[in-house]
Amino acid sequence: MVITYHGLECFKVSFGNLTIAFNPFSKESAKKYGLKEVKFGADVVFVTTKHPDFNGVEQVTYGEKVPFVVSGPGEYEVGDLTIRAFGVPTVYDGEERFTTVYQVTLEGANLLFLGPIPNAKLDSSLLGSLGEIDIIFVPVGDGEVLDGAAASALGVKLEAHVIIPMHYEKDTLAAFLKEEGVSVKPQDKFTIKKKELSALEGEVVVLGE
């Protein structure tokens, strides 16, 4: 598995010939935040929230690749992917919305993608049904998404093997790392095998330039 980060909450996850995208941002949002436009072909794309910061599906539709789009709660099977999706209320860009938390399982690896959730008060029955989390993608910001303390506490509560922060700025990332008690340098990509994940415990991986 190879994971790369493109900013905001956009990730590219590759398993062999399969490419997954989480929350690709639109051209509009790239310009707004001064980010490099996302442009790659995905087989499956997950959209948590109906907002240009997260639903730029056209940016991962490239060449002959037209992705299967998952954009709401439910249970899905797409190829070798098993997906459980849960709707939760949020507030983003000053507006009340619903967002979707995705649990994605492939080749025994259990990924949990939280999206722009505003607090760690997720339904206890949801949390209890997730099982062993290999990798959690958690927003680290202030205001409309989890702050550093809440993001760290949720990662600990779920006992994730690997915690990958997203939606961060320099100050909010520093606050999160302080809560975690670690000093981590960003890396271009994260490459890991399932058998290696089980040996890790709360490993923080920061992706970015």
Q: Is residue 209 part of a domain?
A: no
Q: CA end-to-end span of the chain, whole Å?
A: 20
Number of domains the chain is built from: 1
Query: One digit per residue, pLDDT tens: the chain, 209 residues?
Result: 999 999 999 999 999 899 999 999 999 999 999 999 999 999 999 999 999 999 999 999 988 889 999 999 999 999 889 999 999 888 888 888 899 999 999 888 999 999 998 876 676 667 777 888 999 999 998 778 888 888 888 888 888 999 999 999 999 999 999 999 888 889 999 999 888 998 899 899 999 86
Residue 81 belongs to domain spanning = 2-204
Structure tokens at 203: 């490993």
Give the helix ranges, DSSP H, for 47-91.
none
Q: Is residue 38 part of a domain?
A: yes
What element of type H or E holds 191?
strand 189-191
Question: Bridge partners of 103?
Answer: 84, 112
* Angle in degrees, CA 20, 121, 170, rounded to 5: 60
What element of type H or E holds 153?
helix 148-157
Q: Is residue 157 part of a domain?
A: yes
Contact 145, 138 (CB under 8 A): no
Q: Is residue 93 part of a domain?
A: yes
State the CATH number of the domain containing residue 52.
3.60.15.10
Structure tokens at 192: 């890991």
Q: How far is CA 13 from the centre of its chain?
A: 10
Q: How many CB atoms lie under 10 A from the CB of residue 91?
A: 15
Whole-structure pTM value? 0.94
pLDDT digits (tens, 9 = 90+) for 138-161: 999 877 888 888 888 888 888 899
